[in-house]
Amino acid sequence: MTKRSKVVIFIAILVLGLILARFLYIEVNKSIYKNRVSDYLITEMGYDESEIAKVEGVYGFKMPEFYVAVVFKNEPYVEYLYFAHGRVSQYEYQIIDSQYKNLSQDELKNYEPRF
């Protein structure tokens, strides 16, 4: 094997390693944030695990880079978004079923007002 082909193989392995490291970074952080929010909902907010339909760590390209989407079984038409950077807090919600698009915040069962 020539010196040039060794360099090309080394660079290819390096690039592949960087891509793999980025993928692992994203997946590990999504899992960490998901676990933080799950713990918060169960231990601090008093939800039972059976009341939660979905907890999903999300990687976003904008700020925040990582957040968590939660759907509760009693409101399958609303997705609540949580920050888990330091202190866990709900920061937004989205109506995911257009049939319920006219719901007000007062009608939401799992909404946590910030103030």
pLDDT at 115: 55
- Backbone φ, ψ for residue 107 (5° rounding): -85, -10
pLDDT at 62: 79
CB contact at 8 A, 88 and 73: no
Residue 17 forms part of a structural domain: yes
Q: Which domain holds residue 100?
A: 3-107
pLDDT at 3: 86
CB contact at 8 A, 65 and 59: yes
Per DSSP, the three-state class of 61 is coil
Residue 49 forms part of a structural domain: yes
Residue 41 one-letter amino acid = L
Residue 79 forms part of a structural domain: yes
Residue 112 forms part of a structural domain: no
Distant-in-sequence, close-in-space partners of 36: CB < 8 Å, separation ≥ 6: 68, 84, 88
Structure-token pair, residue 111 = 């909404």
pLDDT digit string (tens) for the chain, length 115 residues: 788 888 888 999 999 999 999 999 999 999 999 999 999 999 999 999 999 999 999 998 777 789 999 999 999 999 999 998 889 999 999 999 999 988 888 899 999 887 5
Per the structure, how many domains does the chain have?
1
CB contact at 8 A, 73 and 51: yes
